[in-house]
Amino acid sequence: MFPHRWPKSAFVAGDAVLDFLNTVDAHGRSSDQNRLTSYASVLAWSLAAGLTDAAEFQCLAAAASNSPEGSEQALTELVEWRETVYRVFEATASNEEPPARDWKAVETSIKKAVSSARLSRDATGSTIWITPPGTDLTTLPQRLALGLYQLLRGDLVANIKQCGGCTWLFIDTSKNHRRTWCSMATCGNRAKAQRHYQSKATPDSSSA
């Protein structure tokens, strides 16, 4: 049994990298709200996100089991990378310059991933960087960094927003680009309920 289950509600960002950045409880980013509490939880996420397949999952689980210290270090580095990339997008979503140190770290991670990747073509005919089949603890960092590269160089990066009700990020693909919530089923409904409560709690001045 996995230490954390990843339901469909954990994948609302519209991009796997942003979904990875959202692997925290929705109302904060402190260590006690981190959902990646073990390398097993990272592997469970990668399988649910479609970043690895079942065969790769088994290989990576075996690699982690054979190297407990290595998997613990890999987990620490992935969480640090997540928070670094999150700060970059949090800044850009607010039309601010990303912290220089964070931007440099993003650049370094992408260069490292590209150096061990190979060129391929996806179903649409676009040229992309891909990693070999996953067999070791470098697989997930590489795939996330390559996914980040694809996201940064694409048109959708301009539509990345931070949810008005939590810390999560998402791509606003709505027609008028006025989407406010990461998900209407969660933060949207909570905001709607709060507005309803406040309207009921506020005395109607016309009846005074």
Domain boundaries, the chain: 8-160
Q: What is the pLDDT of residue 63?
A: 96
pTM of the model: 0.88
Give the integer Cα–Cα distance in Å for 153 and 17: 13
Give the integer Cα–Cα distance in Å for 2 and 42: 10
Is the predicted pLDDT of residue 179 greater than 70, yes or no? yes
Helices (runs of H) and strands (runs of E) counted in the chain: 7, 4
Question: Which amino acid belongs to residue 124?
Answer: T
The model's pLDDT over 68-87, given as tens digits with 9 standing for 90+, comes to 999 999 999 999 999 999 99
Q: What is the pLDDT of residue 103?
A: 97
DSSP conformational letter for 96? -
CA distances from 152 to 80, 84, 90, 143, 156 (A): 19, 15, 14, 14, 8
DSSP H or E stretch at residue 72: helix 68-93
Helix (H, G, I), strand (E, B) or coil at 169: strand
* Residue tagged 């005395």 (tokens): 203
Name the fold adopted by 8-160: Jann2411-like fold (1.10.3300)
The model's pLDDT over 127-153, given as tens digits with 9 standing for 90+, comes to 888 888 889 999 999 999 999 999 999
Helix (H, G, I), strand (E, B) or coil at 127: strand
Give the integer Cα–Cα distance in Å for 183 and 165: 10
